[in-house]
Amino acid sequence: MILKWPLIVLALGLWGLFLVLRERPWRRELLLAGIFPAAFLLMAILGRINIGVRHVLPVYPFVLLYAGAAGEFLFKIPKWRWLPGLLICLQFADSARYAPDYLSYFNIFVNPARSYELLSDSNLDWGQGLIALRNYQSEHPGETLHVAYYGLVDPAWYGIRYVPLKEGERATGTVVVSATHLAGQLLRDPTSFHWLLRYPRKTILNHTLYVFEVPGDATL
């Protein structure tokens, strides 16, 4: 949650909760609304399932509710009435950094090029980069793509011409590897594709497909 949820929303949500608890008498409806997300989050933290921030998404609407309480507090102070509008604009700009690939969103303190080192799978890469890969191939028709793709869909269904690159295999030329495979979370050997990190990275497609250029004389 600290990595994936927008910091502006988290900060306002926590502040809004503090404001509600500080009031005398307490705002009963907002306190009652906090019982479910608190219990749900506690169960998620103590549970054994830990495969993605999506498992705590039911908590998010309540965080927005408390963030709204903080915004209401600011709006009631004349000299701070402009601040909620500024925060909304900053939140929009923060989200736009990943548009339209919001699944891969990380907050501003995470370098997008290294997000796979922190989280993978449904937190980052669920195989959603094939359209971007097809566009890349259209722009580089002369390149043979060696692809280690994480997903259930055959890239060929999208019209992508490629050579599959399996765990333990190596290739030269243009090599494309999914972020989840680069992280190695679900592989037998988590370091299977780390050999690519020795070579220049040409680009990152849709925040999930890392494109490397491996020289033809490289020692594989």
Q: Which pair of structure tokens corresponds to residue 169?
A: 């295999």
187 assigned to some structural domain: yes
pLDDT in tens, 76-115: 999 999 999 999 999 999 999 998 899 999 999 999 999 9
Secondary structure of residue 100 in the 3-state scheme: coil
Note down the domain range covering 172.
122-214
pLDDT of residue 164: 97
* Mean pLDDT calculated for residue range 49-62: 88
103 assigned to some structural domain: no
47 assigned to some structural domain: yes
**H or E segment and range at residue 164:** strand 162-164
pLDDT of residue 218: 67
The whole-model pTM stands at 0.89
| Same domain (yes/no): 22, 67 | yes
112 assigned to some structural domain: no
pLDDT of residue 8: 95
59: pLDDT strictly greater than 90: yes
| Same domain (yes/no): 17, 81 | yes
| Same domain (yes/no): 135, 203 | yes
pLDDT of residue 20: 82
Burial of 196 (0-12, 13-18, 19+ CB in 10 A): buried
Contact 1/53 with Cβ under 8 angstroms?
A: yes
2 assigned to some structural domain: no
| Same domain (yes/no): 36, 90 | yes
Span between the terminal Cα atoms of the chain, in Å = 39
| Same domain (yes/no): 90, 126 | no
pLDDT of residue 24: 63
Can you count the helices (H) and strands (E) in the chain?
Answer: 7, 5
**H or E segment and range at residue 31:** helix 28-33
220 assigned to some structural domain: no
Percent of the chain whose pLDDT exceeds 70: 96
Domain edge (last residue) among 41, 61, 96: 96
| Same domain (yes/no): 131, 201 | yes
Q: What domain count does the chain have? A: 2
DSSP 43: H
pLDDT of residue 25: 62
116 assigned to some structural domain: no
pLDDT in tens, 144-178: 999 999 999 999 999 999 999 999 999 999 999 99
| Same domain (yes/no): 15, 88 | yes
Q: Give the residue from 89, 91, 81 showing the smallest Cα distance to 13.
A: 91
Pairing of strands 145-148, 173-178: parallel
38 assigned to some structural domain: yes
pLDDT of residue 220: 63
Secondary structure of residue 77 in the 3-state scheme: coil
CA-CA distance, 34 to 63, in Å (whole number)? 9
| Same domain (yes/no): 65, 126 | no
| Same domain (yes/no): 28, 80 | yes
| Same domain (yes/no): 88, 143 | no
pLDDT band per the 50, 70, 90 thresholds, residue 48: confident
Domain edge (last residue) among 61, 96, 131: 96
Q: Please give the C-alpha separations between residue 2 and each of 8, 40, 53, 219, in angstroms, as whole numbers.
A: 11, 17, 10, 40
51: pLDDT strictly greater than 80: no
| Same domain (yes/no): 84, 126 | no
| Same domain (yes/no): 74, 147 | no
